[in-house]
A and B are shown apart, each in its own frame.
Chain A
Amino acid sequence: MSSLRLLALCALLLVTGYGLCASESGIFYAQPGQKVEVRLELRLPPQFALQKRSQFWLISPFAGKLLEAKASGRDWPQDPQHYLQSFDLLVWKLKVPAGTIAGRYPLQFKATVYACDEGLGLCQKHALKAVGSLVVGQQEGTSKLVRLELPRP
């Protein structure tokens, strides 16, 4: 995609209220009948803790189902029941159905991210979206995880 088209797409998505432009698209490879791990990295501004109720979804490119992944990691000492200070990659294990036609399949991620910042004394909630691709049945390249970034206040 040319940078001009990407910029236009970013503008459109900002107009519609989504934060795709704060994301980086990823790419994953698999063969029909295989399982593939799809990974997403969430980045928060410094000093932010992630609310454990934050939700992360992947729309399966095969069944169209919403698949949820839970954030896990190290608890935030100030409120370990509700917040994570640092967190692991979010992982979805996708089964590529046997007989899937070779090609590039879109991966759509949706997230509702709750995060709090002690330094600024605020919490924030953002609905974010990201996209990636799953390449099926072709020569495998290097996978690249999807990145999602919460904007600074």
Chain B
Amino acid sequence: MRVWLVLGLLVSGVLALSFSQRAGNPAPALIPGGQWFNSPPTSLQAYRGKVVLLNFFTYSCYNCQNSVPTLKDWYSKYKGQGLEILGVHTPELSGDYAAANVKQALQREGITWPVVQDNDSATWQAYANHYWPAFYLIDRKGVVRYVQAGEISSSYPNSIKSLQAQIEKVLGE
């Protein structure tokens, strides 16, 4: 009996942990400390009232690079309706850590939205994220509404469709 009680508590803990960063929960804060590009240091709190697409990426990631044109398209198309994109640059390779390399890559890719370095993976861990690229759609009240991982490009049209549909839905609320 006691074993089952312990097991039950453990399993409920597992479920709570597994779903804590998923849709329907408040978005964890960005962990401060990283260098910002295209913006002074900011927080998710400052974006209340906006819809935020939080993008975990690293500039050396091929799938992340391929996703940039879609993000640019959405940034110009939906910014007027309240969409903001925030990039969280979590390194994968050793060269990804240097701020100068990140800055150069952002210029090369033409990324104009705010990006913060997450060199110690603190924000990555706060979101219990495991993927590059990953997208967390946060509504105007600061709640994570949708999570998607993987390249969004013409090579993966269904990925574009699913994420875009969610963006339009949340923007329309």
Binding site for B on A (CB under 8 A): 4-5, 7-8, 11-12, 14-15, 17, 51, 53, 79, 82, 114, 116, 120-126, 153
Interface pair B151/A11, CB less than 8 Å apart: no
Known: A8-B10, A114-B92. A124 touches B130 (CB 8 A): yes
- Compute how far the CA of A17 lies from the CA of B131 in the bound complex, rounded to whole angstroms: 16
- Compute how far the CA of A14 lies from the CA of B16 in the bound complex, rounded to whole angstroms: 11
Interface pair A153/B10, CB less than 8 Å apart: no
Interface pair B10/A12, CB less than 8 Å apart: yes
- Compute how far the CA of A129 lies from the CA of B154 in the bound complex, rounded to whole angstroms: 37
Interface pair A124/B6, CB less than 8 Å apart: no
Q: Mark B94-134, 1 if CB is under 8 A from A, else 0.
A: 10000000000000000000000000000000000011111
Binding site for A on B (CB under 8 A): 3, 6-7, 10-11, 13-14, 17-18, 61-63, 66, 92-94, 130-134, 149-151, 153, 155-156, 159
For the A-B complex, the count of residue pairs with Cβ-Cβ distances under 8 Å equals: 66
- Compute how far the CA of A14 lies from the CA of B13 in the bound complex, rounded to whole angstroms: 9
Partner pick for B153 among A11, A121, A124, CB 8 A cutoff: A121
- Compute how far the CA of A4 lies from the CA of B2 in the bound complex, rounded to whole angstroms: 12
Partner pick for A123 among B6, B7, B92, CB 8 A cutoff: B92
SS class, residues of chain A in contact with chain B: mixed
Partner pick for B130 among A4, A14, A125, CB 8 A cutoff: A125
Interface pair B66/A121, CB less than 8 Å apart: yes
Known: A8-B3, A15-B17, A53-B93. A122 touches B10 (CB 8 A): no
Interface pair A124/B10, CB less than 8 Å apart: no
Question: Nearest chain-A residue to B94 (Cβ)?
Answer: A53
Interface pair B151/A15, CB less than 8 Å apart: no
Contacts of B93 in A (CB 8 A): 53, 82
